[in-house]
Structure 1
Amino acid sequence: MSIKSIALVAATIAATASVASANNYFEFGERLNSSSVLDLGLVRAEGAGVVEIYDFSRGEVGQLLGTKRVNAGANTDVRVNVGIRPTQDVIALLKVDGQTVAERDYDISR
């Protein structure tokens, strides 16, 4: 494979990755109210998937607290039941086809 071909393939991969990640995101800011149901607002996914909420109190993904299925496209008013009110930070992972395509860590207002 020539250097031009390698550069073209690398540029295509980089452009595709940018477009894919732009289609997956959590709209709301970085702070959530402490509640047994966390309101994430709008979540956009490139395909049907799941939002998983994990404990993030030590700056690393901890125990799974709750999940919510989402459809491809814009999912408004996404709320995830986590059972008990978290008192520490959490992280939301958006997974499509088993792959994490977006994440957002949240500070919990106490």
Structure 2
Amino acid sequence: MARVTDTETEGALLPEPAPGEIQLVAVLSALADPIRLRIVRELADAAGPLSCTALELPVSKSTCTHHFRVLRESGVIRQQRVGTARMSSLRTAELGERFPGLLASVLSAAADGASG
């Protein structure tokens, strides 16, 4: 079996559902967790993709990895390998096409809940 080197995976996207395969139940389930919602809020506020370590989350590294995987597998975020890091960004356009207004509504409600 050939060994995959870092240069072979540089820039590679991690597996994610195609836009037409994103399911509303999976997205809502992923966003129901407070840590994952916090990740989504921080990604929405970021100027560009963020590494997992750029977010200061009150969970262990393995739990953080789990939350990012749930978000990616549900279609909420995209992750790309850059060196040894996994850079994450929201799939805003794809979610907007599939479920118009959903992400904006969730982020607005989360902001209202955080300020209240």
Where is the helix percentage greater, Structure 1 or Structure 2?
A: 2
User: Who wins on radius of gyration, i.e. which is larger?
Assistant: 1
TM-score (normalizing by structure 2): 0.28
Normalised to the residue count of structure 1, the TM-score between the two structures is: 0.29
Task: Name the structure where strand makes up a greater proportion of residues.
Answer: 1
Higher relative CO (CA 8 A, sep ≥ 6), structure 1 or 2?
Answer: 2
